């Protein structure tokens, strides 16, 4: 069995560095790594190094526009946990300093509107509570003492109130019904949506509003009292789904006010306006049947912008920018004719323009649109993904990542799009690594269309040699193969292990127009599979690719793609890896919890008759081709994945072994649709490359 590119000494040095305070300079980095660390620019990515990067998140600009507040998470491999601390720096990147040093971690940090305090959530008291400190990190004081803790908060702009979110128990448990059975573990279930993604539905996220004065809150009120629905909307919604009006009199929030069977069949979330003085709530988007979310008020309070999908039951519908005139009631489809998704809306201080992030042909860029004329400008261009943007005076503060670099903070010129990095959180690690070259190619598909394919080369690539290649199959199914940085599906990690990575933007991905994005629905085994095969076939013609050492890997829909290819690849591949993939569509339909998804993408339930979309969809289920399987396969699945249940992975593994096909099953009892803990993440990487090396190198 071949050896991975392991450098134990470098592992230890980089892991040690990850535990050190952020904001280090080059001299400090040299002290940490010492003279025996990797020579600058010569090291290779490893799982341990990957889990040593600092993860920047939740960037907040001070009210005066002079400072940036942000958090950084570092993972400690031996303790198998992370810790997040808060940092501050000037908007030009200067005067960087650490504000907190605690073992509990700090989250959801926000500037108080007057800029005199920073509020944040800490678990120092045992549950998540709101704390405040001075902008220099001194004088931390706990502000709330809410039973069970809070999950998010926001100051009102006039600083007279604070809203916070917390979990509220509204359903009866088995013990409530049968108090004489205190140790009974059974659940009594009468309707659908009893669990979601990775947790059972035991409570609901509600918004509370409390008076705030002199660093104290009083008289909290549940503005959703008795309602069995959430805000933010589970499972991925955060405080971006809730906001204050500039005058502090109104709260706009996102909620999907449905339950049970209705909830699992619908994607229809709405924007609600709660008036503090009246205690009343109205549905701003009533009659708009898709997912409406992430409201943002204009600085003068007259307009509300939000992200809107048109069709109910379609989770990958085009995300449009809508604008409501709150004085006239008019709703404006501001990005009409723009066939790209919009995310992260932010008004300019004057309110005449909105900045947002949108994917265009494999990269996520910053755009600007005028609120009255609808005139739109693309601000940035490059091989990267922007993930957030905030206009500040004459410049933008933004976060950016790529396949070769984790997220950092940048200062962007809105006129030229020129970006200057200011955080440098991971310079001490990146300076010791050699990254593989990332190349974009346009390949002609089998139906004569143009498809963007990313090709990632091993570091120190030599055209005179031949390399094994991996076809990366994207999940979603409708999520772009953009310039994302992943802590699991990391292309530079694959390249560092000696593999050429072929990552196609196959049919069914956004950023290439509505037709390209929507073609996949009802055609899972069709054109998108031909796109995948076409991509690897074209790249495999290169003299530096060994056609006899090709593998295919992917997760979720990418896992389904691998299972499907295993029965339809005509001996192209020598190894497969599928993580949390769909194997049997008929059982998947009844096992999953978000029923709107298979209803849209499969066309409906498998028992529906005289429906050609249904017939075509279920005919493309991988289990129908399992008799054609002849290639070694690694199956990975998490027990807590309720979106694609563990039964799918077990079935695929059993099918392979019953046919005497070499197979391995990597089972995680405590992971969900992802792998989130460092030791499991490293185990994932080691097993991943051990399998590939065995079949694409040792047997090559």
Catalytic-labelled residue, pool 523, 641, 651, 693: 641
First to last CA, the chain: 11
Q: What is the DSSP string of 626-664?
A: GGG--S-EEEEEETT--SS-HHHHHHHHHHHHHTT--EE
Beta carbons of 188 and 177 less than 8 angstroms apart: yes
Catalytic-labelled residue, pool 205, 317, 673, 693: 673
Relative to beta strand 161-168, strand 204-213 is: antiparallel
Contacts of 45 (CB under 8 A, 6+ apart): 433, 435, 490, 492, 493, 495, 496
Q: Is 641 a catalytic residue?
A: yes
Q: List 440's β-bridge partners, or say none.
A: 454
Beta carbons of 557 and 476 less than 8 angstroms apart: yes
What is the SS3 assignment for 483?
coil
Q: List 398's β-bridge partners, or say none.
A: 389, 410
Question: How many CB atoms within 10 Å of residue 251?
Answer: 24
3-state class percentages of the chain: helix first, strand second, coil last, to nearest 5: 20, 30, 50
Q: List 575's β-bridge partners, or say none.
A: 551
What is the SS3 assignment for 645?
coil
Question: Residue 494 corresponds to which tokens in the numbers above?
Answer: 């694959």
Catalytic-labelled residue, pool 556, 561, 621, 651: 556
Tell whether omega for the bond before 104 is within 30 degrees of 0, i.e. cis: no
Beta carbons of 397 and 368 less than 8 angstroms apart: no
Pick left, alpha or beta for residue 648 (phi over 0 → left; psi -120 to 50 → alpha; otherwise beta): alpha
| CA dist 21 → 18, 42, 102, 123, 482 (Å) | 8, 25, 12, 20, 31
Q: Is 352 a catalytic residue?
A: no
- DSSP summary character for residue 317: S
Residue where the block lists tokens 């055609």: 523
Catalytic machinery residues: 556, 641, 673
């Amino acid at each position: 069995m071949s050896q991975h590119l392991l450098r134990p000494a470098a592992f230890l040095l980089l892991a040690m560095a990850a535990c050190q305070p952020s904001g280090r300079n080059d001299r400090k980095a040299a002290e940490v790594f010492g003279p025996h660390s990797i020579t600058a620019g010569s090291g290779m990515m490893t799982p341990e190094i990957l889990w040593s990067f600092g993860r920047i998140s939740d960037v907040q600009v001070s009210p005066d526009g002079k400072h940036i507040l942000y958090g950084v998470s570092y993972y400690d491999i031996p303790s198998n946990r992370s810790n997040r601390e808060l940092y501050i720096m000037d908007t030009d990147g200067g005067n960087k300093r650490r504000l907190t040093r605690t073992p509990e971690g700090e989250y959801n940090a926000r500037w108080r509107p007057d800029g005199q305090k920073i509020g944040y959530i800490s678990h120092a008291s045992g549950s998540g509570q709101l704390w405040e400190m001075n902008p220099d990190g001194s004088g931390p004081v706990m502000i709330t003492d809410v039973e069970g803790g809070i999950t998010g908060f926001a100051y009102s702009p006039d600083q007279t109130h604070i809203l916070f979110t917390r979990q509220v128990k509204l359903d009866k448990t088995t013990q409530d019904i049968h108090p004489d059975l205190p140790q009974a573990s059974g659940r009594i279930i009468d309707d659908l949506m009893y669990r979601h993604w990775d947790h059972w539905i035991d409570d609901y996220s509600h918004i509370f509003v409390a008076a705030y004065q002199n660093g104290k809150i009083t008289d909290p009120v549940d503005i959703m009292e008795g309602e069995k629905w959430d805000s933010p909307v589970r499972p991925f919604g955060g405080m971006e789904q809730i906001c204050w009006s500039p005058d502090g009199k109104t709260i706009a929030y996102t909620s999907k006010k449905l339950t049970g069977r209705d909830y699992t069949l619908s994607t229809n979330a709405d924007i609600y306006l709660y008036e503090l003085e009246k205690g009343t709530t109205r549905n701003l988007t009533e009659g708009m049947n898709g997912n409406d979310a992430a409201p943002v008020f204009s600085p003068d309070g007259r307009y509300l912008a939000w992200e809107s999908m048109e069709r109910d039951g379609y989770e990958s519908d085009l995300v449009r920018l809508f604008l409501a005139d709150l004085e006239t009631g008019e709703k404006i489809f501001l990005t009409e004719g723009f066939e790209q998704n919009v995310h992260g809306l932010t008004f300019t201080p004057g309110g005449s323009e909105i900045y947002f992030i949108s994917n265009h042909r494999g990269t996520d860029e910053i755009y600007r649109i005028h609120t009255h004329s609808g005139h739109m400008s693309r601000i940035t261009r490059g091989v990267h993904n922007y993930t957030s943007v905030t206009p500040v005076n004459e410049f933008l503060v933004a976060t950016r990542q790529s396949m070769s670099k984790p997220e950092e903070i940048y200062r962007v010129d809105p006129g030229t799009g020129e970006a200057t990095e200011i955080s440098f959180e991971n310079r001490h690690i990146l300076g010791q690594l050699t990254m593989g070259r990332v190349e974009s190619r346009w390949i002609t598909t089998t139906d004569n269309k143009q498809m963007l394919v990313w090709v990632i080369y091993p570091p120190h690539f030599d055209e005179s040699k031949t390399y094994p290649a991996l076809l990366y199959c994207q999940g979603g199914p409708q999520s772009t193969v953009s310039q994302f940085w992943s802590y699991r599906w990391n292309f530079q990690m694959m390249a560092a292990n000696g593999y050429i990575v072929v990552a196609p933007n196959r049919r069914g991905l956004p950023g290439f127009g509505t037709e390209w994005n929507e073609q996949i629905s009802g055609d899972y085994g069709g054109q998108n599979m031909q796109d995948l095969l076409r991509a690897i076939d074209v790249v495999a013609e290169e003299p530096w690719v060994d056609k006899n050492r090709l593998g295919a890997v992917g997760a979720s829909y990418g896992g389904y793609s691998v299972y499907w290819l295993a029965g339809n690849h005509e001996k192209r591949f020598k190894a497969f890896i599928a993580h949390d993939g769909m194997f049997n569509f008929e059982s998947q339909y009844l096992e999953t919890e978000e029923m709107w998804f298979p209803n849209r993408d499969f066309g409906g339930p498998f028992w529906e008759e005289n429906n050609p979309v249904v017939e075509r969809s279920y005919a493309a289920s991988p289990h129908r081709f399992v008799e054609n399987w002849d290639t070694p396969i690694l199956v990975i699945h998490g027990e807590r994945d309720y979106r694609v249940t563990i039964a799918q992975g077990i079935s695929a593994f059993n099918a392979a072994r019953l046919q005497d096909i070499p197979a391995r099953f990597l089972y995680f009892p405590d992971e969900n649709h992802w792998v989130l803990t460092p030791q499991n993440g490293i185990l994932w990487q080691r097993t991943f490359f051990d399998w590939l090396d065995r079949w694409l190198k040792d047997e090559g």
